[in-house]
Structure 1
Amino acid sequence: MTLEEQAIDWHIRQRDMSAAEWDAFATWLEDSPAHARAYDAVAMADAQLTPPEHMADVVPEPVAANDNAGWGRWWLMGGVAAAVALVAGPVALRSRPDIRIEQTRPGETRQIALNDGTRIELSGGSRLRYDSHDTRSATLEQGQALFRVRHDPSAPFELQAGDVAIRDMGTVFDVRRQGDRLDVSVAEGAVSLAPLGERIALTAGQGIRLDEGGHRLSRVAVDPAMVGGWREGLLDLDGETVGTIAARLQSAYGMRIAVEGPLVDRPVTGVVRMTGDGDKDVPRLAKLIGAGWRQSGGDWILRASNEDR
């Protein structure tokens, strides 16, 4: 098959792909930038392709056992292929954008249901922007959110987080944006993105940790069952610094937490279950990481223990 035919084939198969096929698709995307460009062109073309008006009410005839079951599939491929050439043409007029902004206070969470069936859960201290007339795209300006995206091969959901666009193929994934740091973890399905100019496809059990300011990117393995664990009070720490953890707790509880000295850069790994009560969780976490703590007014201050000084 030509590259275009391969892209169309993958696009059509997404309606009922297995986990193994998602992995194969992710590998195909990463094999060459040309693969990703071809797939994007096919997806855009399919989104603009509409059935002929005279076919709208036609009821398909049953397929006999000796009929060519693949004919309809290749007819669809032909239609999409023809539409690829039209992508660069005039775009149909759309209604005026209706921008919605969902913003949570520290300590608050919110559930959002988009018109297309996609569900989003926002963590505390988060801000999400989207167009109610185009719910296949959104922007996470800050904070953390879990996305459960309705699968639509003709219109993949796209999330913008900083300079990174995350293309979803119908899945469950979690995104956290904090300053220059971006974390993406996938629980089901697959997403594609191109941080720092590198095209990456992630499937269930995979994630990335990106420091845009430092131009550092790492791929990590994640436990799918832990993706979005913050909703149940779970902190899944994979080498995060104490300073980063303090910022997460500030968003969760709406309290100020300062970290003194070199402790701010100490990495922490492990899973911590929080109680939901900041006055209990901050000193408990300090004890777990071997740090001291004190309060000054309403602020919490973490410091290295005497043994570490």
Structure 2
Amino acid sequence: MEKLDFNEVPYHLIVEDLENTISAADKKQLERWIDASADHAQRYQEALVMLQQLELLGEYKRVSADAAWQKFQPALSPSPAIKHPVVSSPKIAVWRRWAVAAALILGLLFAALYYYHRPVATLLLTAQKQGRQITLPDGSILVLAENTVVSYNARNFRGNRKITLKQGKIFVDIKGGLKDAPFEIEAADILIKDIGTSFDVQVDSAKVEVNVATGVVEMRHPYAAEDKAKLLVNANEKGVYDRETARLHRSTIVNPNFKSWHDKRLKYTEASLAQIAADLKQIYYVDVAFADERLKSRTWGGYFDHKSVDEIVHAIAAALQLRVEKNGDRYIFSNTY
């Protein structure tokens, strides 16, 4: 493990992290560098974008292959230091030309095969107040919350269904039918393995959290003692890995709207306006404020299915006889009197 200069961007560790070749010790160093400041986190995201745009991973490997070829190529030609007698036999001359051509073709073939099968990381990023949904090569659905960074190998994904969650929050609805290729998510030190399910994963500097909607998920810590290395999380349960204590624990999900950030369905039974405001901020990336702090304790019950945030706040305001005003991405509730 090397000691990082916190004033410089550790591009070499970011490259290794993107390729999943980074050591456990260096990964912790990189995470400490990212968590050290908001500027580091921003520069980390910028570095990831730069690596993707320049295709740095594929490019430096191609250059390495070219360099190796330059070293190997002289072996195909006679050394200039050794003088050989001139042989006039046309058969030998033809044989040598075919041998050189065959060697060149084989070299190009191996180079092409290497270039095609090399790991190519597809990088997905979302900015603040930006979400994204994609269909993965195997048909599974991946939803990204704001400020999320994910990478995976799109070229060989059906044979190696693995996603690396570097930061943020995702929801995965996994499609079956590929029994020889289990679906795995790497988040910090934890490997999350699907056993036919849909779930979301969130990673930050303190924890890795998995909320299971359907099926069963296995959370595994590869460096922990055997009796503490694995945790099975069932539907409507939450699995949490504490990154400081390196412990896994499970509990029942108490928030009925834990899926609402991606499925846009909200159900409330006498919920406080403070709780509703927090949910709307997570789902629609808007701020909800109160002209009178006492309004936070007012309660409301009802159900919304794929409604816009504007429809939601005005429906609640009408039901509770409140006034609501909008200023940019900010809604303000106040009394009508």
TM-score by length of 2: 0.43
Query: Greater relative contact order (Cα 8 A, min sep 6): structure 1 or 2?
Result: 1
- Structure 1 length as normaliser, TM-score? 0.46
